[in-house]
Homo-oligomer: A and B are copies of this chain.
Amino acid sequence: MAPAKLLVDIHTHVYLPRYANMLRARSSVPKIMTTLIDGKEQDRLLILDHEPSGGRPVGPQYWDRDQKLAFMDRHGIDVSVVSTANPWLDFLPASQAHELALELNADLEQYCSTGPDMTDSSVKRLYGFGLLPLVPEITTTSLLEAVKQISEAPHLKGLIMGTRGVGKGLDDEALDPVWAAIEAAGLVVFLHPHYGVDGKAWGDRDNGHVLPLALGFPFETTTAATRLILSGVFDRFPNLRLLLAHSGGALPQLSSRLASCIDHDPVVASRLKHDARYYLGKLYLDAVAYGPEELGFVSEVLSRANRYEAGSTLNEPADRKVGSKKVLFGTDHPFFPPLQSIEKWKSVVENLEAISSVQGWTEDEKDGVRGGNALSLFNIS
């Protein structure tokens, strides 16, 4: 039995040593390269073409488990559900992606299983999201093998996934056997962005990483989740559990507009079983939104989903307490380090303060978002 009030971080990344070494050996993006900055050697990570600011500094916080645990200790985080950071295996040929997925899943299971336990508890401090070799020309057999491996690994609780699928996005019918297997295994899919949108949208000014991270990332997640809804995936796989990064990007705010656009377009108006807003009730959202009003709102959008089930006569205001059960604390560590050295990372403190400040959530809902919801979702006890 898990203690009642754990702080659980479900959005926290790693480049496992095997993966970091692979990035270091590469000559094209994504890669880790060592450069001289002010006369000192520094590792820099380049994960995008035309990376702003010459990439970002990386160090052992990306691959060293002790550093992950030290970060957790410093911020009072009891349990982390760790995932490989983007761009995963997207850039690899199918055979290499297949092999590396299986190796990295085994590495991550070991990373978790050989890590520490919580004091006086059978709960581990580290769990993980595995990876599928989602690249063009991969076979369904290979994808299903990875799903099976993850479902059998005791400490892997789901899998992290980008938005490209096997090259045509997540609304590709070729993925139906994969959704079926994931649904049957009860694994949670953590949907995470990497590509943003075409960089021409950002203009000529140097705004560092702000536009691709603050806007491009959420736009990509929003687009992928919307295309999934439009493809009928949630009608075909109603028990699929999808966790969206960054509180669902912009999907909650655009969901009524989406429903209206569907209703007004002859191509899609009759395609889905329910109003688009119904499907948002299928989603879990991390609480990586940095503001209390955002968290309150996204929990309302999850709450109202049953109002939009076909045939529903519900007409009550959304009770944000209900939707809060599907909102889960995350940090995005080791990304967004503070610019100055300080005890606690601002990005973490802000997300914790946001949870504490949501109007209309009692301490019960706040405790749930901080950890209880994650323990339930991932069946950790």
Contacts and interface: CB of A to CB of B under 8 A. Distances in A.
Interface stretch (A24-32, A111-119, A182-190, A248-256): A248-256
A251 to B, nearest CB: 9
A222 B258 CA distance: 16
Task: Determine the interface band of chain A, counting residues with CB < 8 A from chain B.
Answer: 35 or more
A231 B260 contact: no
B290 A257 contact: yes
A222 B250 contact: yes
Nearest to A260: B290
A341 interface: no
A300 interface: yes
Interface stretch (A68-76, A130-138, A193-201): A193-201
Given A264-B337, A338-B264, A253 B253 contact: yes
A301 B171 CA distance: 33
The quantity of this chain's copies bound in the complex is 2
Interface in A175-226: 197-198, 200-211, 213-215, 218-220, 222-223, 226
A134 to B, nearest CB: 15
B207 A317 contact: no
A268 B53 contact: no
Contacts of A255: 291, 294
A350 interface: yes
Nearest to A345: B264
A254 B53 contact: no
A211 B257 CA distance: 11
Interface string A289-320: 11111101110110010000000000001100
Contacts of A304: 293
A335 to B, nearest CB: 9
Contact of A222 (B53, B202, B215, B220): B215
A214 B289 contact: no
A260 B203 contact: no
A277 interface: yes
Contacts of A246: 257
A231 B263 CA distance: 38
A254 B215 contact: yes
A170 to B, nearest CB: 9
Contacts of A277: 291
Given A210-B268, A268-B207, A347-B264, A219 B250 contact: yes
A257 B218 contact: yes
Contacts of A101: none
Give the most central of A219, A252, A296: most B CB within 10 Å. Answer: A219
16 contacts: A169-B204, A197-B197, A197-B198, A201-B219, A210-B261, A214-B226, A214-B262, A215-B219, A215-B250, A215-B254, A255-B291, A256-B291, A256-B293, A256-B350, A260-B290, A264-B336
Given A169-B203, A171-B205, 5 more contacts: A53-B265, A206-B267, A210-B261, A252-B253, A255-B294
Question: Shortest 9 CB-CB distances between A and B: which pairs?
Answer: A256-B291, A208-B267, A250-B250, A198-B198, A256-B290, A208-B265, A214-B261, A297-B297, A253-B253
